[in-house]
């Protein structure tokens, strides 16, 4: 059976701002996982993780690398937050600074429905929190500071007005105050 890549939903898709529902143990989740893997692979390294809501499916599933996280829970945050740049497949050409905990304890099920409790650190902890935000209906711009938020809001307005990510050239963004635009 050939696995089909799913289209990635871009802002302002409603699926990006809705809380996802728990997944029940059935074969549909295995099909979803296969499609998410295929979709992430087809980003050719642009994405480090992908949540089901980013393809329009409001279920609590995401993938990071080879790992599948079903019904994930952030159980504990440890230590101070650190500020770092993040971007998102659903918000092309927008990046900003986000505070994230560098050490966390998480619980989740894998695609075989084996339960895991793990300590995640640094990069893996950041990606887990980013993808969990998606499952909770949050996008990265909600974590930006005022300067990055103002710029991102301008870019997001362009997307809402029907511009495509390819329309977001440096000149277009500059006219709208965009200085965090990532050039091609």
Give me the torsion for CA of 151, 156, 159, 163, rounded to 10°: -10
Q: Tell me, what DSSP letter sits at residue 65? A: T
CA distance readout (Å), 141 to 15, 45, 79, 94: 16, 22, 23, 9
Place of tokens 């295929």: 38
Structure tokens at 96: 């900003």
Mark 103-124 as b/e (b = at least 16 C-beta within 10 Å). ebebebbebeeeeeeeebeeeb
Q: Is 131 one of the catalytic residues?
A: yes
The set of catalytic residues is 131
């Amino acid at each position: 059976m050939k696995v089909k890549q799913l289209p990635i939903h871009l802002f302002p898709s409603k699926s990006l701002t809705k809380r996802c529902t728990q997944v029940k143990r059935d074969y549909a989740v295995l099909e979803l996982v296969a499609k998410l893997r295929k979709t992430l692979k087809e980003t050719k390294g642009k994405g480090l993780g992908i949540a089901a809501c980013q393809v329009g499916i409001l279920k609590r599933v995401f993938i990071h690398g080879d790992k599948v996280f079903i019904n994930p829970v952030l159980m504990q945050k440890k230590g101070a937050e650190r500020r770092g740049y993040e971007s998102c497949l659903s918000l092309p050409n927008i990046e900003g600074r986000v505070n994230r905990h560098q050490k966390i304890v998480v619980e989740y099920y894998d695609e075989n429905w084996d339960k895991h409790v793990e300590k995640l650190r640094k990069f893996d902890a950041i990606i887990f929190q980013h993808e969990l935000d998606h499952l909770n209906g949050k996008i990265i711009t909600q974590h930006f500071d005022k300067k990055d938020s103002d710029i991102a809001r301008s870019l997001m307005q362009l997307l809402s007005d029907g511009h495509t990510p390819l329309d977001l050239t440096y000149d277009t963004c500059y006219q709208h105050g965009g200085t965090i635009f990532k050039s091609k």
